[in-house]
Structure 1
Amino acid sequence: METALYGPEGFFVRERPRDHFRTSVHASPLFAGAIATLLGRIDEALDHPGRLDLVDVGAGRGELLTAVLAALPGHVRGRVRAVAVEKAPRPSDLPATIEWTSAPPEGIVGLLIATEWLDNVPLDIAEKSEKGDIAYLDSDEPLSPADDAWLRQWWPLDDAPPGARAEIGSPRDEAWARAVATVERGLALAVDYGHFAADRPLFGTLTGYKDGRQVEPIPDGERDLTVAVALDSLGSETLSQREALRSLGVDGTRPPLAMATENPVGYLKTLAQASQAAELTDPAGLGGQQWVMHWV
């Protein structure tokens, strides 16, 4: 998984993610607007520091940072240090005001955001055999003590039927902890699909995406490999995207029909925004994602 996603010929190194799957960032500019609103609230809570950091981990090609900067008022934008964290080479058309690096900077004062990043952190999968043994997928190798301890705490398979699988989330826990540690003051925010102990999927969630379609999770470097996140093991506060975006002013309520007669252009514009907001907050889709928040 590590090689297929992040090796020299890995998916995220040579492919544009938006060509293969759709995230909130690509679904609507309302998402970037909500992040701009959140950053403004953080700025106020931090008493308007001279440098306000906005760090995007797993930045794709910088789409979110570009859109958030455009949505910020000038008096805030002028103090923002925008940093894209990504393994791919810097895009040639990225604005010069956005820094490009392979690891988050230290001492962040502001917001670190990771949109659908944790689901792409490579991990191992455990499977229960017909004999009841638990080993790594497609291997007779027993689990390491550390992996066994993580499973027993967060995803036990003792009472599961043969063939049951569990995705060992400790690499994601560690990646998230390292990201949080870079924030000196402000918020670390991860937005991702996931599950909690009460509803762990019996056979796991590993899947692939290519050219906008869900495909077999073959580690060939030509497709995204994604695994939903065991959210409770991260040790941070969570909130559904539906709740989070509504608190930031993203509302899918349709405009009154009378507006179509009184102001038809405004009606169509408001209706389009309501449709986009509805997609972002749909609990069966993007609205079912969770916002994992760690305040410092």
Structure 2
Amino acid sequence: MTAEATDEWHGWRAAAAAALYGPDGFYRRPEGPAGHFRTSVHASPLFARAVATLLCRVDEALGRPARLDFVDMAAGRGELVAGVLAALPAEVAARTRAYAVEVADRPGSLDHRIEWLPEPPARTTGLLFANEWLDNVPVEIAEVDSSGVPRQVLVRRDGTERLGEQVAGAQAEWLARWWPLTGAAEGTRAEIGLPRDEAWAAAAGTLERGLAVAVDYAHSAPSRPPFGTLTGFRDGRETAPVPDGSCDITAHVALDACALPGAVLLTQRAALHALGLSGARPPLELASTRPAEYVRALAGAGEAAELTAAGGLGDFGWLMQPVGIPDVLTQAQGTPAD
């Protein structure tokens, strides 16, 4: 890398896109995301089983079609899609066509039934599931200057920042609707989620019938963070978001802005409870009558508790976008995402 390249200024969207998805980007590294941070998929196989249950509910709502599609967006190294296939009843698995959507190369050991694609397939019928995808769709950052004007934040590859031009056009319109900065103090920041709205609409638009689900760190209009959420992750730890390809660059998602008509916003806790996942401890008498079963149940309860914990994974937002089918999680409908 030359000094000239280091000194170039870019908007955060372009800088993060190159750092994450460029030829030497973070998401193309051989260790994969699991080498740097832990998602619900990595926390417990119970998560994949819950998604398999959701796919079965979608299958029922679709009338058990001859072909049932499952699309795993931002598939990492295929951990979720492989877990879902393994958890499906044999009859459903036989009709399921599985797709992993990811920029990295296909792992050599991946189940041959899984098709590996750089973009979601068109005209699918089934479930499109995006776990921690939208937070890595890069966005521009706006910051209020000393005159109260929101300006685009520019960044160099070494992480140095400065303010650029005033935010205008569609980006300004998005801010005014979803993250108003009028009257905000100098230094107040916002993450302009327009690219995520567009990415989600495009992904959900590939479904002819079924359900699209986005799961992510989220916030809603009444509780936008005043200084934004842009951060980095490397080797399991939070770090400065330096766009040089050495770390993940992520920001929480305004899921309420992404939601299309008919969408339902839930917490992960509410969604997983509706799918039958509970962190309740097994009855103590089981320890004396069937101790091995008790130990397994206790371990499962601990994993379920982590997936649904307040202040942790349980607070993630689930954006449920039905396409031509009714809501399949009516028990949890209406629960707020934050």
Name the TM-score, length of structure 1 as normaliser: 0.99
Structure 2: distance between partners of 1:169 and 1:130: 24
Letter in structure 2 aligned against 1:101? L
Shift of 1:31: 0.5
253, 256, 273: which one aligns with 2:280: 253
The equivalences for 1:1-296 within 5 A come to 1-15=16-30, 16-137=32-153, 138-235=162-259, 236-296=263-323
Shift of 1:144: 2.7
Deviation digits for residues 15-55 of structure 1, max 9, x if unmatched? 40011011110000110000111111111111111110000
Structure 1: distance between partners of 2:147 and 2:128: 45
User: Aligned-pair RMSD on alpha carbons?
Assistant: 0.8
Letter in structure 1 aligned against 2:138? P
SS of 1:187's equivalent in the other structure is strand
Shift of 1:258: 1.6
Gaps of 5+ in 1: none
Do the aligned partners of 2:143 and 2:163 also contact (CA within 8 Å) in 1? no
SS of 1:9's equivalent in the other structure is coil
Structure 2: distance between partners of 1:143 and 1:183: 33
Shift of 1:173: 0.1
Structure 2: distance between partners of 1:258 and 1:89: 49
Letter in structure 1 aligned against 2:174? W
Gaps of 5+ in 2: 1-15, 154-161, 324-338
Letter in structure 1 aligned against 2:183? D
Deviation digits for residues 108-158 of structure 1, max 9, x if unmatched? 100000000000001100000122121011223121311111000000111
Structure 2: distance between partners of 1:295 and 1:231: 15
Identity of aligned residues (%): 56
Number of equivalent positions: 296
Deviation digits for residues 232-282 of structure 1, max 9, x if unmatched? 101232111000001111000001222111111111100000000000000
Structure 2: distance between partners of 1:221 and 1:256: 49
After superposing on structure 2, the runs of 4+ consecutive aligned residues of structure 1 that deviate more than 3 Å are none
Structure 2: distance between partners of 1:183 and 1:140: 39
Deviation digits for residues 93-118 of structure 1, max 9, x if unmatched? 11111000100001110000000000
Residue in 1 that maps onto 2:9? none
Structure 2: distance between partners of 1:263 and 1:213: 40
